[in-house]
């Protein structure tokens, strides 16, 4: 199990550390904690910290969700995200988001590959800026078991802006994230995921952008 993580991490870090291939090189850390409250009800907390060569520490997201699990496949989540923006650690903006999403777990298999997905709708407000922004984020994940419960994961997430505001200036496809990672359990309730993610930005009337990101996430379920 450990040999897969050891072999995958250098590849992710090497990709993230290659300036010639990226407009920015970044590192993202994630902490996800989920707990069953009563029957089908769940609560979840997500913390995401992002830093980059160009901007240093530039984003800290804190999300809290309440979920209702209909069955083994479908779970509906509703929550709030507090998202301050930074430039080299100095606060530059404050964004508030209401998120609702439908998670679809293991909805299909292709041989040994398991498919999961999520449809997220975000309503966004930014302090000091006018307007309410709406955004769809469809997400698809393919997982291939490679050793016990250790899995190789391929993910894709698109950001579809629904209209424009003073801070959401694109109407339509804004960016796309494609990731490759390895996940493995550390215990019955805690798991680790590490990998590489490419964030491609679609720029109107200009060259597109590419960010190369080393990702590391810790998840706990109770």
Reduced to 3 states (helix: H, G, I; strand: E, B; else coil), residue 163 is coil
Go through the domains of the chain in sequence order and give each one's CATH number. 2-221 (2.40.160.40)
How high is the pLDDT of residue 22? 53
How high is the pLDDT of residue 2? 41
44-80 exposure pattern, b = at least 16 Cβ within 10 A, e = fewer: bebebebbbeebeebbbbebebebebeeeeebbbebe
How high is the pLDDT of residue 6? 39
The strand pairing partners of 111, in sequence order, are: none
> Helices H, strands E: what count in the chain?
1, 11
How would you write the pLDDT of the chain (222 residues) with one tens digit per residue?
444 443 444 444 444 334 444 589 999 999 999 999 999 999 999 999 999 999 999 999 999 999 999 999 999 999 999 999 999 989 999 999 999 999 999 999 999 999 999 999 999 999 999 999 999 999 999 999 999 999 999 999 999 999 999 999 999 999 999 999 999 999 999 999 999 999 999 998 889 999 999 999 999 999
Task: Give CA–CA dist 218/190, Å, rounded.
Answer: 7
């Amino acid at each position: 199990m450990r040999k897969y993580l050891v072999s995958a991490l250098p590849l992710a870090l090497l990709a993230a550390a290659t300036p010639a291939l990226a407009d920015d090189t970044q590192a993202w850390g994630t902490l996800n904690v989920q707990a069953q409250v009563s029957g089908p009800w769940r609560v979840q907390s997500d913390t995401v910290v992002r830093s980059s060569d160009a901007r240093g520490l530039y984003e800290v997201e804190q999300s809290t969700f309440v979920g209702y699990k209909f069955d083994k496949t479908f779970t509906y989540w509703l929550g709030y995200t507090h998202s301050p923006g930074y430039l080299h650690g100095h606060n530059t903006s404050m964004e508030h988001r209401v998120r609702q999403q439908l998670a679809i777990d293991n909805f299909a298999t292709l041989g040994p590959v398991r498919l999961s997905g999520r449809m997220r709708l975000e309503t966004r407000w930014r302090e000091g800026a006018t307007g309410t922004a709406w955004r769809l984020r469809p997400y698809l994940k393919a997982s291939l078991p490679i050793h016990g419960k250790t899995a190789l994961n391929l993910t894709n997430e698109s950001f579809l802006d629904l209209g424009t505001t003073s801070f959401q200036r694109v109407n339509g496809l804004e960016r796309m994230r494609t990731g490759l990672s390895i996940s493995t359990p550390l215990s019955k309730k805690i798991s680790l995921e590490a990998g590489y993610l490419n964030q491609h930005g679609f720029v109107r009337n200009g060259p597109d952008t590419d960010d190369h990101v080393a990702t590391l996430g810790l998840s706990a379920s109770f």
